[in-house]
Amino acid sequence: MESDIERAGRLMLASKHVVGLTGAGVSVESNIRPFRGPGGLWTEYGEPPMDGYQRFLANPKEDWEQRLSRGGYRRELYEALEVAKPNPAHYALAELEELGVLKYLITQNVDNLHRAAGSKEVAEIHGNFSKLRCIQCGSRYEREEISLEALPPHCPRCNGVIKSDGVMFGEPIPSDILRICEEETSKSDCMLLVGTSAFVYPAAGFPQEVKRRGGALIEVDPYETGITPFCDVSIRGKAGEMLPRIVDYIKVKPQRGESST
Ligand code: APR
């Protein structure tokens, strides 16, 4: 009986343009809590207001002061983000890229752990917590480049207001990032979903798009999610345990066109 790990590996090897889509679950084994489900931050603190960005625009100074005071969920999340290290799931995805099997990786995580694990072809659709971004010209800066003495900080290039690079609820995804994600999704004939409840759009629409065009979906998650019924293979387990097994299978499996004898 072929295992789900083998089926997932064979499906990825048979595909031409595998794209990964990761969510908070891939970083749970790096001690960053997910947002929803068991142990979720929103499960404990409640979902933040859906108009977070409009509130920021209405009073950026106040929003920055709240952000820096680290009230509510922010203290725990930021402290976890500041000390987090990649786990075997992040390294497995970086290795799949190196093996030429994974062509691109879209992450909803702001934790920078995919890059820290060595992934190169990465789009951070919800931004990166170690960066800041100008809401006028879109320029991004490393946190250390911008003084937070006067709030809100302003862009050294265009004097626009600067916010964290993390995409707030109600904020449009920066067009440069959204374009790349849509391009890679449109080329994809197989999407590997890891640790996402596939609940938040536009990211949740990407696997549906791949499926609509006849592509395959592979999921790795300890629990069933909203996308499970549409998946060709749905592996119940932790990303840090399951992804290295898929890599091991792929590494021993003859590549396309190579004979097994
Ligand atoms: N390995 C794999 N998946 C896991 C693990 C694990 N060790 N632990 C939990 N999960 C799964 C959960 O079962 C759940 O399906 O990860 C998923 C996490 O879902 P969410 O918490 O909803 O995270 P995500 O899908 O990334 O949320 C999307 O919502 O709140 C916003 O901006 C935030 O980027 C986030 C977006």
What token pair was written down for 261?
């004898």
Q: Report which DSSP code applies to 158.
A: T
* CA 94–ligand 1 middle distance (angstroms): 19
Q: Find the angle CA(247)-CA(248)-CA(252) to the nearest 5 degrees.
A: 115
Q: Which of 33, 199, 234 to mutate to test the pocket of ligand 1 (most atoms within 8 A of CB)?
A: 199
Q: Which residues of the chain have pLDDT under 50?
A: 256-261
- Beta carbons within 8 Å of 117's beta carbon, 6+ residues apart: 86, 90, 91, 93, 94
The 3-state DSSP class for residue 8 equals helix
**What's the pLDDT tens digit per position in 132-179?**
999 999 999 999 999 999 999 999 999 999 999 999 999 999 999 999
Cβ of residue 34 lying under 6 Å from some atom of ligand 1 = yes
pLDDT of residue 71: 87
Q: How far is CA 104 from the centre of its chain?
A: 12
Q: In whole angstroms, what is the distance from residue 77 CA to residue 71 CA?
A: 10
- Predicted model pTM: 0.96
pLDDT of residue 159: 97
pLDDT of residue 32: 98
Going by C-alpha positions, the residue among 178, 105, 165 that lies closest to residue 135 is 165
The 3-state DSSP class for residue 205 equals helix
Cβ of residue 133 lying under 6 Å from some atom of ligand 1 = no
* CA 36–ligand 1 middle distance (angstroms): 6
Strand partners for 234: 219
**What's the pLDDT tens digit per position in 115-130?**
999 999 999 999 999 9
pLDDT of residue 37: 87
What separation, in Å, do the N-terminal and C-terminal C-alpha atoms of the chain show?
22
* Continuous H helices in the chain: 4-14, 41-45, 52-58, 60-69, 73-83, 88-98, 113-116, 175-187, 205-212, 239-252
pLDDT of residue 145: 97
